[in-house]
Amino acid sequence: MNGKSILITGGTGSFGKQFTIYLLKKYRNIKKLVIYSRDELKQFEMSNILSEKKYRCLRYFLGDVRDFSRLKRALKNIDIVIHAAALKQVPMAEYNPIEFIKTNVIGAQNIIEACLDSNVKKVVALSTDKATAPINLYGATKLCSDKLFVAADNYSGIDYKFSVVKYGNVLGSRGSVIPYFKKIEKTGTFPITSKEMTRFSISLDEAVKNVGWACKNSLGGEIIVPKIPSYRLIDLAKAINQNNKWKVVGLRKGEKIHEEMITSGDSISTYETRKFYFILADNRNTTIKKFKKKFPDLRKVSKNFTYNSGDNNKFLTVSQLRGMIKNEILK
């Protein structure tokens, strides 16, 4: 990453801001780091904390992934793109589908075309567990986005690499359940959609490190899925305030009881290492050999393997959740 010019779409969001901090701390000789987002207030606030005067490599660039010409201008002389821009609120997507399609699907294709036209060498796009066997509009748009990025690697040639990193709920991120539960904690009651509900869990720091790893190690055409624990929604409520009561309110439109990241259908082309699963774009011997050369411990998952938050082999305890929540809040 040293000596490279990097652009982050959605750069002022929860992930984008933390990833910027990560890059500035870890790599002292980044050539240029462009924060691309459409929210001028967030850009102003972030620039007061991470100023261009203090960090000479930083550039704040106001723009929308829906705007192809603006993207091309921002991507001039960029080497690496981290695509984190997205609309992501599940209920909102159900009632405003075309807006989510414009940002999450058409915006993704704009990124691909603009990167190819601008000779960007590597693109890492962020995805979500909701893109696996989606039952809501948001998940469907992210599934489509994933397919676009994987397909882009097929026609981009050997000089360009397009990869996807897919992970679960980021604890404490904007719009997640933790800030909401903290807000209503004093009411004495938490609304629980289902007593059986589970979710994958990852801290913001872990998400950032996984994407940083992908920027260095991705080979192109793969969906990278980190091995992460699950939690029960009831345990999360207990971790925030064990004295509070909880009330079952039912599933919201588009919600699942358990989230998936790998289906049995994906298992045909899924491989694993100690820390990651890789869903490969194809099963050609040349592709598999390339990945095995890079990752010597790579092996194929079993037939009909699934990766589901409800039958995960690792669940966070109430105590572990409490510690993670405390760490996220103190940031």
Q: What are the catalytic residues? A: 130
Lookup: tokens for 25? 């701390």
- Are 17 and 206 in contact, with CB atoms under 8 Å apart? no
178-197 exposure pattern, b = at least 16 Cβ within 10 A, e = fewer = beebeeeeeeeebebebeeb
Closest CA to 4 of 145, 122, 89, 158: 122
- If phi > 0 it is left, if psi is from -120 to 50 it is alpha, else beta; for residue 16 that is alpha
Lookup: tokens for 206? 């872990």
Whole-number Å distance between alpha carbons of 188 and 31: 51
Query: What is the signed CA dihedral for 215, 85, 97, 146, rounded to 10 degrees?
Result: -10
Whole-number Å distance between alpha carbons of 6 and 30: 8
Lookup: tokens for 181? 């539960």
- Are 246 and 190 in contact, with CB atoms under 8 Å apart? yes
Lookup: tokens for 191? 């609304």
What are the residues whose beta carbons fall under 8 Å from the beta carbon of 46, sequence distance 6 or more? 11, 12, 17, 20, 35, 60
DSSP 242: T
What are the residues whose beta carbons fall under 8 Å from the beta carbon of 130, sequence distance 6 or more? 90, 136, 138, 139, 142, 259
